[in-house]
Amino acid sequence: MSHQLPDPRQRGNYRWYLALATRWMDNDIYGHVNNVTYYSYFDTVANSFLIRECGLDIHAGERIGFVVHSECNYVSALAFPQHLEGGLRVNRIGNSSVQYGIAIFRAGSQEASAHGTFTHVFVDRESNRPVPIDGVLREGLERLLVTTDSSA
C-alpha cells in the first residue's frame, strides 16, 4: 500500500511556517533566486523549527542532525526583494531519521514556488552514530506529521 501525502504545492498542507527574506546575493545573473539558494532556505526552515520548537542545541547538544537526502521541485521564479515564507511538515519519522516536506511560498501565496524533501539522520555528536529520535524532539516532530487522513 503506497503512502499518498497531501499535495506539496498547497500552503494548507504544511503545519509550521517561517518568514524568510530574500537577499540581493540570492539573485543570479538571470535575475531570479538561484536554484542552490532554495536548499539554504530548506535548511533554515527545518533547523529553525528544531531549535525553536524541539530544543535542539546546535552548539553543545549531544545529538545533531545530518542531511542525508534533499530534493527540490521548482514551480515559479522568485527574486529579491520578495518576502517569502517557508512551510514545514513531517512526511515520515523513523527511529533516527525524519523526512520533512518543505515548501517556499511568496508571502501570502497559497501556491508554492518550490517544494521538496529534506531528510535528517540524528547522530551522536561524538561518535557520528545514529541515535533515536525521542523526548522533546520526537514530540515536536510528531506535531508536524501528515498522513493521507490529515489536513492542516
Whether 126 and 86 have beta carbons less than 8 Å apart is answered as: no
Residue 150 pLDDT greater than 70, yes or no: no
For 18-46, what is each residue's pLDDT tens digit?
A: 999 999 999 999 999 999 999 999 999 99
Q: Which domains does the chain have, with CATH numbers?
A: 11-143 (3.10.129.10)
- Output the average pLDDT for the chain: 94
Give the pLDDT confidence score for residue 1 in this predicted structure.
42
Look at residue 147 in the predicted model and tell me its pLDDT. Answer: 81
Neighbours of 105 (CB within 10 A): 24
Q: Does the structure show a pLDDT above 80 at 148?
A: no
